[in-house]
Each structure stands twice: as structure tokens, then as C-alpha cells.
Structure 1
Amino acid sequence: MNTRRSSFLLAVLTLSAASSALAGGKHAQEDIGKPGLVSAADRTIEVRMGDIFFEPHDIDVMPGETVRFVLKNEGTLLHEFNIGKAAAHAAHQKEMAAMFQNGALTGTGQDMSSMEHAVGGMKMVGMAHNDPNSVLIEPGATKELVWTFTKSTSLEFACNMPGHYQSGMVGEFVIR
């Protein structure tokens, strides 16, 4: 197979994986809650993350509660805090792998110059990490995410960087 055709097929497969992941993520967000306002937060929970763990591992929340998460990456790798169900995480992992493969993400950060780039003569647009239920945290950084929970069960928080979820970087929200 020639190089141009291989590049084109790679671009098509990457777009397909990203589109599937985005569609799955948007559908899954319908019942997991919504972004909240800091001023409406009922409480603040600090989440430490490292290579490869979350602390705490499980977080109790109540339906209707707005939580301000303060996310501290104490590791040497880029990590993600993503709220969703297992199926949405699986779909998002495909998107993250495509972003990593295309250079939009590295092991330690996000390459903004790679968010729009050419692959086999085809422009790849929209490979940005900007879901409201998710935040990337660079090594040594602290970021926040404010979320209002619903009655939904089976919610997880996870890092979907390639291999991190599979290595145990996932925790459970216990809805009480």
C-alpha cells in the first residue's frame, strides 16, 4: 500500500474513532449531571492524582449536589479527571488514543499547535480536549472542575490517557 493511501486511511480511521467517541460521550452526558457554578458548590473535594492512582478512590455524592473538585496532579505524566459511565470512558479512550497518536496530546501535556494539522493532505480539525465533564491536568498543576450530580448510578471518575484506566486509574462515585 502506498504512503499517501496509508495516510488517508489512517486519517479516516482516526476521524471515525473520534466521531464515535464524541457521539458516545455526548449521549452519555445526558444522565450524568451537568457543569456547576463555583458559587453554588455545596462542598469542595480535593483529589490527588499520581502515576497511576486517584486519592480518594471512591467519592460519596448526593443527587442534586454541586461539588467543586480541586484536582492536583502530583505525578510526572499528564492525567485526566473525567466523569462518566464505563461505556463513555471506553469510547473516550479511543478519542484520547487518536489525539495521542496524532500528537495533540503527549505524555506530559497538550500540543495546541497539533489541534489542527494535516494528515496525508487532509486537515484534521476538532481534535481538542474540551468536554465539560473532563479536565486535563499537567504534571505539578492544580485545576478545578465543578459538577452538579443527578440520581444517575454507576458513575466513575477516570483518567482516559492511553493505558491509565486499564492500570487502575479509575474511581467510583457512590450516589447516596
Structure 2
Amino acid sequence: MTARIRLSLAGCFLALSLPVMASPAGHFDFGQPAPAASATRTVEIDMTDIAFTPKSLDVKAGETVRFVLVNKGQLLHEFNLGNAAMHAAHQKEMLEMQQSGMLTPTGMGHDGMDHSAMGHGAMNMPGMKHDDPNSVLVEPGKTAELTWTFTRADNLEFACNVPGHYQAGMVGKVKVAP
């Protein structure tokens, strides 16, 4: 076997052994993104400095919800679906983005960023964008959407992981009923 083939195989094995994180092609135990047309309900979430309204949501397993996210505040906010452990990990990524200048208090520091591959050298790559399928950033005065099909309960939260926002109380509960 040539050195080139060995290196190619080693790269493939390394890529397959990396943990699956929340990424555009990632899998989530609590559901998956869906097209807006498949939504059975629309829920408007107001984002202010520093709160969500409403503060909790009740959904049913199998339900597809279209979230309309309206940032009525003066700061950049995020709507991210996950559990507390996922939010804690994502907060570290968001802090790295803020420290690098890619994220400012009111928006994106560059044209875009992709932090789905954080921890794998993504911070040094050009053309990065925030594109996790369970998350959306909303700049002040803007509206965004996220549509999600919930599959099961998992102590879910919706949260803003912009540095300091979750800790200040910008988090809500999602109850998924069978």
C-alpha cells in the first residue's frame, strides 16, 4: 500500500471517528429541522434584552412548529433548541466567536461564520457562518424563522447563548408531551 493511500485511509478513519455535534448534517435525539410548509403550528417568540416571551412552550411529539423570532431588543440574540449540556458547550463556542471579533453585541463581525465545526480549526477558516440547524441568530430589529419537528422529550430548553445572556435568564423550557 502506498503512503498516499495510507494517508487517505487514515484521514477517512479520523473523520469517521470524530463525534457528531450539532451541525447542518447533525442528528438530534429530540427532533430535526423541517420545512416551514410542514408546520402544524406557528409560535411567535419575542426576544428582548434579556428575555424571551413566552418563557415556556408545550409541544407534542411529532409536532412541527414554525418559530417566528422577533428581536425587539438592542442586542444580538440567539434562539437555540437543546438541553442544558448542549447550551453549555455552545456557550463556549459563542464566547470564542466573540473573543475573535466574529460576534459583536449587536451582530456579526464578519460576513458570516460557521461555528458548527468549532474545536476543529474552524475559527481560522474564511467564510464561516452560524448555521446550526437548531439555532438562529437574530440581529436587533430583525425577524428570523426556525421550523422544527419534535420527536421526544429531552429536558429541552430554548436559549440565547450569546455570552452572558443565558446566565442572565434568557432561557425557556420546552415540554414535549407524548
TM-score range, shorter chain: 0.7 to 0.9
Deviation at 1:29, TM superposition (A): 4.6
SS of the residue corresponding to residue 61 of structure 2 reads coil
1:25 pairs with 2:22: yes
Q: Which has the higher helix share?
A: 1
Which residue of structure 2 aligns with residue 49 of structure 1? 47
The within-5 A match list for 1:114-129 is 115=113, 124-125=124-125, 127-129=128-130
Contact 1:24/1:88 (8 A) holds in 2:
no
The within-5 A match list for 1:1-176 is 24-25=21-22, 29-113=27-111, 115=113, 124-125=124-125, 127-176=128-177
Amino acid at match of 2:104: T
User: Structure 1 pair 113/146, CA: closer, same or farther in 2 (3 Å)?
Assistant: closer
Deviation at 1:55, TM superposition (A): 0.2
What TM-score do you get using the length of structure 2 for normalisation? 0.77
Q: Gapped runs of 5+ residues in structure 1?
A: 1-19, 117-122
Deviation at 1:114, TM superposition (A): 7.5
Deviation at 1:175, TM superposition (A): 1.0
Could you say what the CA RMSD is over the residues aligned between the two structures, in angstroms?
A: 2.3
What TM-score do you get using the length of structure 1 for normalisation? 0.78
User: Structure 1 pair 25/114, CA: closer, same or farther in 2 (3 Å)?
Assistant: closer
Contact 1:24/1:91 (8 A) holds in 2:
no
Contact 1:82/1:133 (8 A) holds in 2:
yes
Taking the aligned partners of 1:104 and 1:150, their CA distance within structure 2 comes to 33
SS of the residue corresponding to residue 112 of structure 1 reads coil
Contact 1:157/1:173 (8 A) holds in 2:
yes
SS of the residue corresponding to residue 110 of structure 1 reads coil
Deviation at 1:153, TM superposition (A): 2.2
Larger Rg: 2
Runs of 4+ displaced beyond 4 Å: 113-116
Deviation at 1:30, TM superposition (A): 2.4
Taking the aligned partners of 1:114 and 1:56, their CA distance within structure 2 comes to 29
User: Structure 1 pair 89/107, CA: closer, same or farther in 2 (3 Å)?
Assistant: same
Identity of paired residues, percent? 55
Contact 1:60/1:175 (8 A) holds in 2:
yes
How many residues end up aligned between the 2 structures?
A: 150
